[in-house]
Structure formats: structure tokens, C-alpha cells
Amino acid sequence: MAAAGVMTAARVRTDGLTARLPFAVPLAAVVALAAALRVWSFGAIAGNPFYDAAVRSMSQSWHNLFVGAFDPSALTAVDKAPLDLWLQVASVKLLGFSSVALRLPELLAGIAAVALVGDLGRRLFGAPAGLAAALALALLPASVLTGRSDTMDAMLMALVVLAAWCVVRAAQRPAARVRWTLAAGAALGLAFNVKLAEALLPLPALVLLAWLALGGGVGARLRALAAGGAAFAAVALAWLVALSLAAGPKPFPIGSTDGSAWNVVFVFDGLQRVGLAGTTASRPGGGPLTLFESGAGALGTLVGTALAAALAVGLAGLVVTLVAAVRARRAGRLRAVAEEDADAAGRRKLARAGTAFVAVWLLLGIAVFGRMVVVYARYLDALAPALALALGAGVAALAAAAARRRTAAAALALAVAATAALALAIAPPRPAITAIAFVAALLLLLAVLVRPRGRAWSHALLALALVGLLAAPGATAVRLAGTHQSDGGEPGAMPTRQLASLSGYLTAHRHGARYELATMAAASAGAVIARDGQPVLALTSAYGRPLVTPHQLAAAVRAGQVRFLLAGGAHCVAGQPRDRTGCAPVVEWARAHSRDVSRAAGVRPRLLLRLHA
């Protein structure tokens, strides 16, 4: 196998530009399509006030940048490691603070992920599979949304795919195995610093890929895995360790139960997300069909139709491949397989490893998302590359086999028809799109009778199948892009006119107070912080956890440090869970020691209160 890896590496190095053009040119076209969908109406998309506020605060000082400060006074911090936000800070420093600059890093990451998935699919399963996988990811509605947003998931996706790509390069270049596995571990460690536990979802599949694909004996593979694991741990924990060792006061991370970043990383953004700890422990997930929920804007519309296609063609392709292998054995072709050149043997080994890698990643992702308490569309970027690779490998294998065998052509046609039927059940009714998918399936069935042979026919079947499989998700992606949608969310959002009026009122009536205002819940002040970049005093963190005592707030009001309170949320009533913001003692004190000035500030009633001791 070592010889196979050496020969494969030699082939990769000696491939000239001419040899790569048949793959590079169509891949460039797919990447251009992905860019067009993500850039479409890019300037008209609203931002995420929560993360935008953090970027505004972090851009004000090196200390704020390092600790991931949510507010300019660094009393609170975001509930994530700040790596991705650092990139957004760099963007706004270069281009100015704007919605476009805030979302630019995610846009570039989403486009890069499409190119990386294409080349990863090529290396694992061949050029047709790589192109099909890239097209699937380019058109996946959930990934189109995240590539247009100022959340972090597109960056996570690009880094995870980069880690897998490095593992494959390690398999193709045995002489540099350790170097490439170190790079893979570092890439996944960076992904952890972008979105924490979400980056761990593909980890078991990546370990399996490395174990099956890397050449050498057990000892050599264990050493390579140990190197990659050490690189992952070092990079993943670097910021947490540095923050823990840093001198001076540290902000309270929003969502933490004890004020430590370790707690927010492994509990709030880890165990609680799957209902294993804290407030959400009694709330079960939606089960294995979570990703197939129907209705406009549901997860089924955003990912389920493409996931159905991936499962259908992936399973059918696997069955057809296994049947062909059994027939080859019965036909006495084992000797020919055994005598194949080392280069071909290496490709076959890599394809088998890739199949196991994608299957584990995909099935584990479905299981985890079925367990999660809440699944937002942006979380799906942790699964999207596996979906794209499964679809690409499956449809390419079926199309190649269909050019030679009637059973494979029939399987491909039935997979497309089944996907079209499920898409009709999941997605909002779109007769034209549904008709296109079923016509593609019908034409594939007719191909069973025609049965011409050759590579050109295989490519034609592949193109026809992709039309049927990706018609529904592609149409949804176009609709989302054309209607200025993203997956940024709106925590703390406020109508533009009211926000401007509130900002003007606070500026005119602040009278030298240290804080522009106090806020009942930290996240609710995001829009104000993002606009004004002024210190804000948060009274509670997530789940109504107090950050300030009534005595401390009263002292701050008497000293003239804070004059106004940004209110919101219901009052605390008997029988209500005590983890609500309105039930925090400091919030109840603030309500009792204030008067409503919302009308004078030009905002909705009971939103802005004037505090008095």
C-alpha cells in the first residue's frame, strides 16, 4: 500500500494544467454559481444584532478582542470562542462597520467550502462525483443561507472540509503523512474555536477516514492519528487556556453558569444543546425525522429534500457497486483485480475509506440532530458536506453503472423519482419544479431501453439525474437568495427608525453617565451596542441568571452611572419558572424603581424606562 501511495502522489504531482482542465473548468463554473447565489442581494440582508454588537465591542480595544467582549465595557462576553469574530473585526477595520463587511468572511468561507468539497470528492470518488458534490453544496438552501449570514457556521464548514482534505492528502503522500495529519488536526481545532462542539460532529468520521485511508502498519497509523489528535487538542484549547491564564478581570460569558469560558463551551454550547444538562434537560429532541419536517421554511425545505436525494442515490449506488463486485468474483475476475497496478489499487482503497467516512458522518449527524433540543438551519453546515459527498458519490456511481447495466439505470431512475415524490411532500407546492424532477426520472427510465454505451452517455445520465435530484433544493435556494433571506437571526433586533430615535434620545439625555443604558437581558441590547458602540450594563445573562444585585444597581443609579433601562419580557408571575429574566431580583427592583419614557424616546411602550433610586 505504501507503493500505491507513492505512485498516486507521483501521478498528482505530474498532472499538468491540461490534464486538470476537464475538472477545473466545470468546478469553476459551479463555484461561480455558488458565489452568485450567496452574493445575490447581499447588501439588502439584515445583520445579526447579537454578533454584530460583539464585533463592534471587540473592535474597540485589544483586550475586548482577546476576551470576546459582547459589550464595550467587557462586562459580558459572547457564548463562543472569538476566532470567527476576529475575522469579522478585521473585515470591518478594513472596510468600515457595515452589514456587508460583517458578513464578508462567511461569504468567502461558504464559497471556499464548495470548491473544497468538489476537490475532496474528486480525490475520494473521481471527478464526476466531485463535481456533483460541489453542485449539491452550492444549491443546498441551508448553506446558501449561512453563506449570506454573519453567523459562524459557513466558516466552520470550510474548516471541517479542509481537515478532511488534509487527511486525504496524507493518504496520497505517505512521505508527508504526519505533516498532513498535523494540518488536519489543526484545521479541526480552528473549527472548534469557531463553533465549539458543532465541530466535533464529524470527528469520529474523520478518525475512521484516517485509519482506513492511511497506508502503513498499525503503528504508523496510530502515530499519525496521535499527531493529528495532539494538533487538534493544542489548537482547540489554545484560546481557552490563554484566557484562563491571563491576568485581570474577565467578562461573564453569556450562557455560563459560573462565569467561566470552559463552562459555556462544554455545558451551554455542548451538553445543553442535546438536552443532557441544565435548563433544557427535560426537553427531548425531535427524533430522526427532524431534518425532514415539512412546510415553508422548515428544515425539510432547507435540507431535507437534498438529504433525501443523498440517501436515495447513495444507498442505491452502494447496492449496485456491491452487486457488481459479487458478479465480478463469480465471473473469476479476482486475478485481474489482484494484478491491477498499485495506482488503481490506491484509488480503490481511498474510495472505500471515503464511503465509510461519508456514511458515518451522515448517519451520526442525523442521529445527533434528532436528539438536539433546538436545531437552527445554520447548525446544518456541520452535516452539509457529508450530504453533498454522499449525493455526489452515489449519483456518479449510478450514472457510470447505468451506462453499462439496465439494473443500474432503473435504480437511478427510481431514486430520482422517489426523491421527487418526497420533495413534493416536504417542500411548498411548486408544480413546475416537481414536473421537471419527474420528467428527469421518466427520461432516465427510458434510458433503460435505449442503453447506448460510453463515457459521454454516462455523463449525460449524470447531468439528467442531477436535474431531477437538485430541482427542488435549487429552486428553494434561488427563492431564498432573491428574497434577501439569511440565517442570521434577530436577537435584540429593533426597527431601524425606532433604533435611531432611541439612540438620539439616549445621547441627548445621558448627561455623562458611564453606561448608555442598562438592559434586563444582555442579548436584548445587541442592536443598540452595534449602532452606538457605548458601554451597556447587563442585569442578567441567559435564563435570567443575575449579573448584578439590586444593591449594586441602586448604587449605580444613585451615583449617576446609569439612567435608563432597556426593558422587555413578561413580569414574573406565580408558578412561572424562576429561570426567566422577569423573575430575577435585580429586574424586579428595576421595574419597581423606574418610570416609562418610551413615548418621549420614540419607541414602543414600556421599552425604555427612566431609573431612580
Instruction: Answer yes or no: do 425 and 506 share one domain.
Output: no
Cell of 472: 427542488
Q: Whole-model pTM?
A: 0.89
Q: What is the dihedral of CA 492, 496, 499, 504, to 10 degrees?
A: 160
pLDDT in tens, 577-590: 555 776 788 888 99
Flag the least confident range among 123-127, 234-238, 333-337, 387-391: 333-337
User: What pLDDT, on a 0 to 100 scale, did the predictor assign at position 4?
Assistant: 38
pLDDT in tens, 43-75: 888 888 889 999 999 999 999 999 999 999 999
Rounded Cα distance between 425 and 551, Å, is 57
Q: Judge whether residue 569 has pLDDT over 70.
A: no
Instruction: Answer yes or no: do 331 and 450 share one domain.
Output: yes
Instruction: Answer yes or no: do 439 and 512 share one domain.
Output: no
Given pLDDT bands bounded at 50, 70 and 90, which one contains residue 323? confident
% pLDDT > 70, the chain = 87
Q: By C-alpha distance, which of 381, 317, 357 is closest to 132?
A: 317
Residue at a domain's end among 482, 516, 535: 482
User: What pLDDT, on a 0 to 100 scale, did the predictor assign at position 403?
Assistant: 75
pLDDT in tens, 514-532: 999 999 888 888 899 999 9
User: What pLDDT, on a 0 to 100 scale, did the predictor assign at position 264?
Assistant: 85
Given pLDDT bands bounded at 50, 70 and 90, which one contains residue 9? very low
User: What pLDDT, on a 0 to 100 scale, did the predictor assign at position 342?
Assistant: 64
Q: By C-alpha distance, which of 565, 580, 561 is closest to 611?
A: 565
| H/E stretch holding 608 | strand 608-611
Residue 553 belongs to domain spanning:
496-611
Is 9 contained in some domain?
Answer: yes
Q: Which residue has the cell 470528492?
A: 121
Average pLDDT, the chain: 85
Number of domains the chain is built from: 2
Q: Which residues contact 91 (CB under 8 A, 6 or more apart)?
A: 101, 102, 104, 105
Instruction: Answer yes or no: do 379 and 475 share one domain.
Output: yes
Instruction: Answer yes or no: do 415 and 380 share one domain.
Output: yes
Q: Judge whether residue 160 has pLDDT over 50.
A: yes
Q: How far is CA 505 from CA 6, 499, 567, in A?
A: 70, 10, 16
Instruction: Answer yes or no: do 274 and 341 share one domain.
Output: yes
Is 182 contained in some domain?
Answer: yes
